[in-house]
Amino acid sequence: MHAKATAAATAKTGGRVLLAPMDGVADFVLRAVLTRIGGFDLAVTEFVRVTTSVLPARTFLHTCPELANGSRTAAGTPVRVQLLGGDAACLADNAARQAELAPAGLDLNFGCPAPTVNRHDGGAVLLEDPDRLHRIASAVRAALPATVPLSAKMRLGVHDPARALDCAQALAAGGIDMLVVHARTRDEGYRPPAHWALLAPIGEALQIPVVANGEVWTLNDYHRCRAESGLADVMLGRGAVADPFLARRIAAWRSGGDCSEHWQAEWRELLPSIADYWHGVQARVQPKAAPGRIKQWLNSLTRSYGEAGVLHGALRRVTSVAEASAVLRAHGVPARDVLAETAASLH
């Protein structure tokens, strides 16, 4: 189908919204908070690094505590576990081990642009060799029960998008059931713009769902991404962290409801979720690291909420859990521990 015709058809369909696997950001606690707010059909974990050995079950459970809950968040959103590495046989062995925990699916990381990851034979650097992508996908698919879905996430390439379609077709031929494509090359990192139009040929060529990813911060971005890519499904990353209500507004649009919510009302609604996140963080990380995690999320929220900037500023020099809790309460964040109890029970 021609790209313009595909885009027109896409505009009339709902499509799915997925939560991206953001290393060091979208961990178990934030996944729980964002999926409780709503709008997500599927989430993917931070990557589990696979090198030369078969990892114990506790490693997968640490990254994805949702495995103890039917591989779903507390809100019921399915979660796929992401593996990162370049050794096809070792990835396959770890996939088989992971399958014993009954995941909602596995995902392969061919998109991480981090230099350290790429230097150690992982992430986007593997896009230099489509044949290797095929070998990895084929080995992992063969190691998994047919009932366990296998997806992959890639970028448009390392230096340029010339071989993006070759990479996508290699992965599809290897047996993946869904492909997420971040619409930038590795070298472009996260610098705007995202090249959504370059995803259209991939969507047209593959017989599996292709998901657009990259630079979707607003409902308008979501519509433009779908129109330019011709793809129905979209994965939200930093946009969902900066605006936790984005996926819910998209869901409202998909169902024909009102998606124009007031920012001030949203900030008030967000305060209990910030409390949940704060208490969940305390249950998951060392006390000395906890203040840094809440500051990290608040810094992202400043893109959408001026109030978050004020709160972030008040926490700037805070280094202890007790001080941070006091500042949060002073700024209207309620004292809650529901998520902390959940995290502790799954830790």
Is 134 marked as a binding-site residue?
no
Q: Annotated binding residue at 269? A: no
Where b means 16+ CB within 10 Å and e means fewer, 103-113 reads bbbbbbbbbbb
82 annotated as belonging to a binding site for a ligand:
yes
Residue 196 near residue 225, CB atoms below 8 Å: yes
Identify the helix (H) or strand (E) that includes residue 109.
strand 106-110
- Residue 215 in marked binding region: yes
- Of 90, 112, 167, 225, catalytic: 112
Which tokens belong to 144? 């998994």
Alpha-carbon span 112 to 21, nearest angstrom:
10
Is 238 annotated in a binding site? The answer is yes
193 preceded by a cis bond (ω within 30 of 0): yes
CA–CA separation, 30 and 34 (whole Å): 6
Residue 279 counted as an annotated binding residue: no
Rounded CA separation 48/60 (Å): 7
Cα dihedral: 142, 146, 147, 148 (round 10): 20
Q: Is 112 in the active site? A: yes
- Which is nearest to 201 in space by CA: 210, 192, 193? 210
Amino acid at 212: A
Q: Cite the annotated binding site by residue number.
A: 82, 153, 182, 213-215, 237-238
Indicate which residues carry an active-site annotation. 112
Q: Cite the annotated binding site for FMN by residue number.
A: 82, 153, 182, 213-215, 237-238
